[in-house]
Amino acid sequence: MTTWTEYAAERPITLSGASGIDRAAHHRLDEAWLSAAWSHPSTRVFVVSGGQALIDDTPDGRTELVMTPAFEAPVTETHRYFLGQDEDGVAYFALQKDALPGRMDQSARPAGLREAGLLLSPRDAGLLVHAVALENWQRLHRFCSRCGERTVIAAAGHIRRCPACGAEHYPRTDPAVIMLVTDDRDRALLGRQMHWPEGRFSTLAGFVEPGESIEQAVRREVAEEAGVTVGDVEYVASQPWPFPSSLMLGFMARATSADIQVDGEEIHEARWFSRDELRAAFKTGEVLPPTGISIAARLIELWYGEPLP
């Protein structure tokens, strides 16, 4: 079987590739540096609102984030987030606003990560995933969890401080496991969630619970969702997943049982597929593959041996 390293070189996971952006965290508390960077003519800024930003198609067929110099950016008092610098020293900021700005030329369009992540360059996708994750966190964590006071933004969007009790709050990332389970006949276990369209199948997944290792989480989630027991668990790769604040940890797992008993709550249906069975189901439309933005598609492809339709 192709190794993950060999496979990822040709089919990288969306949102996980090298973006060429240095997050330069050491500048986040340096107000003088941030002010100078904001006023520099090379600095580029984009607006994020409700998980979306403006994207535009270029004459040569690429899709880019719509970015402007700082002096053309909308005014905001506090919701200005420093995202990092590229190798040429260009600084990038995101502005959180209640609505995206209009465009005179009407060519730009709003898009979220599920659409834009498949179209943008690694640089732009990396900037957008960073901005969306910060925006989600900022919107949901405006009050101190210790005393209930409204918090204020610090560290260029990466900390919220409580003026009452002095607590500092940092962006949260919830670890989640996502796994392709195979059995001793090298069949893959795929499931369909209750709210998915008819025929949509993907890998199983779930959140890591407190006091639990990620390997334990893989085994527990597969047992809970499909009634299948798992032995060996092998880490493959990860993917940031800011919907709203997860980090997907991808695994290949080996089942030690084959009988399926779905939980009926998260998973409506689960089935074992051989490669030939899955290929035939794709051709007839009986099975729809997961979307290309998800690490789930890459895990299945690693076993399947070719890109999914």
Closest C-alpha to 179, from 125, 126, 135, 232 = 232
Give the whole-angstrom CA distance, residue 143 versus residue 96.
18
Contact 241, 293 (CB under 8 A): no
pLDDT value for 14: 87
pLDDT digits (tens, 9 = 90+) for 4-57: 667 766 778 888 878 899 999 999 999 999 999 999 999 999 999 999 999 999
pLDDT value for 1: 58
Give the whole-angstrom CA distance, residue 298 versus residue 12.
8
pLDDT value for 103: 62
For residues 250-266, give the mean pLDDT.
95
For residues 172-176, give the mean pLDDT.
95
pLDDT digits (tens, 9 = 90+) for 118-157: 999 999 999 999 999 999 999 999 999 999 999 999 999 9
| Mean of per-residue pLDDT scores for the chain | 93
Give the whole-angstrom CA distance, residue 158 versus residue 250.
26
For residues 159-187, give the mean pLDDT.
97
State the CB neighbour count (10 A cutoff) for residue 148: 10
Give the whole-angstrom CA distance, residue 76 versus residue 54.
18
Write the single-letter amino acid at 62.
R
For tokens 């025929």, what's the residue? 199
Q: What is the pTM of this model?
A: 0.91
- pLDDT greater than 90 at residue 233: yes
Angle between helices 295-304 and 275-284 (to 10 degrees): 120
pLDDT digits (tens, 9 = 90+) for 62-113: 999 999 999 999 887 679 999 999 999 999 999 999 999 876 567 899 999 9
Percent of the chain, pLDDT > 70?
A: 96
